[in-house]
Structure 1
Amino acid sequence: MSTSITLFGAGSWGTALAVHLAAAGRDVTLWARREEAVEQMRTTRRNPTYLSDIEIPSSVDVTSDLEAAASASSLWAVAVPSQSLRSVATRIAPLTRPGTTVVSLAKGIENDTLRTMSQVLAEELTGIEAQQIGVLYGPSHAEEVAASQPTTLVASAPTEPRAEWVQDAFMTERLRVYVNTDVVGVEIGGSAKNVLAIAAGMGDGVGYGDNAKAALVTRGLAEMRRLGVAMGAKPQTFAGLAGIGDLLVTCMSQHSRNRHLGEQIGTGKTLDEIESTMDMVAEGVRTTQSVRGLAEHYDVEMPVTEAVHRVLFEDQRPEDMVDELMTRSAKREHGLSRSPQGAS
Structure 2
Amino acid sequence: MNQTRTCKCAVIGAGSWGTTLAQLLADKGHETTLWAYESELVSRMTISHENELYLPGIKLASALKFSSDLGLAVEGADMVLLVCPSQVMRSVLLGLVDYLKPGTLLVSAAKGIENGSLRLMSELISELLPERLRKKTGFLSGPSFAREVALKIPTAVVAAATHIAVAEEIQEIFSTDYFRVYTHDDIIGVELGGAMKNVIALAAGVSDGLGFGFNSRAALITRGLAEMTRLGIALGGAAATFSGLSGMGDLVLTCTGDLSRNRTVGIELGRGKKLSEIMAGMQMVAEGVKTTLSAYQLAQRMGVDTPIIEQMYLILYENKDPRQAVTDLMLRDLRPEAL
TM-score bucket (shorter structure): over 0.9
For each residue in 1:283-306, what CA deviation from the matched residue of structure 2 results, as whole angstroms up to 9, or x when unmatched?
A: 000000111111011100000000
CA root-mean-square deviation:
1.1
Deviation for aligned residue 1:31: 0.7
Residue aligning to 1:249: 253
Q: Distance in 2 between matches of 1:63 and 1:315?
A: 41
Q: Distance in 2 between matches of 1:189 and 1:151?
A: 17
TM-score, structure 2 as length reference: 0.97
Counterpart of 2:168 in structure 1: which amino acid? E
Spell out structure 1 runs of 4+ moving beyond 3 A: none
Q: Distance in 2 between matches of 1:46 and 1:272?
A: 30
Alignment of 1:328 onto 2:332? yes
The within-5 A match list for 1:1-344 is: 1-126=5-130, 128-335=132-339
Is the 2:103–2:133 contact (alpha carbons within 8 Å) kept by the matching residues of 1?
no
Any gaps of 5 or more consecutive residues in structure 1?
336-344
Is the 1:131–1:159 contact (alpha carbons within 8 Å) kept by the matching residues of 2?
no
Q: Distance in 2 between matches of 1:244 and 1:329?
A: 26
Deviation for aligned residue 1:2: 4.7
SS of the residue corresponding to residue 132 of structure 2 reads: coil
Is the 2:164–2:185 contact (alpha carbons within 8 Å) kept by the matching residues of 1?
yes
Q: Distance in 1 between matches of 2:270 and 2:70?
A: 41
Any gaps of 5 or more consecutive residues in structure 2?
none
TM-score, structure 1 as length reference: 0.95
Is the 2:93–2:125 contact (alpha carbons within 8 Å) kept by the matching residues of 1?
yes
Deviation for aligned residue 1:127: 5.5
Deviation for aligned residue 1:24: 2.3
Q: Percent identity?
A: 45
Counterpart of 1:202 in structure 2: which amino acid? V
Q: Distance in 2 between matches of 1:119 and 1:173?
A: 33
The structure-2 alpha-carbon separation of the partners of 1:91 and 1:8, relative to structure 1 and needing over 3 Å to count, comes to same
Mean CA deviation greater in 106-115 or 316-325: 316-325
Counterpart of 2:266 in structure 1: which amino acid? G
Query: What is the total number of aligned residue pairs between the two structures?
Result: 335
Mean CA deviation greater in 86-95 or 45-54: 45-54
Mean CA deviation greater in 36-45 or 119-128: 119-128
Deviation for aligned residue 1:128: 2.8
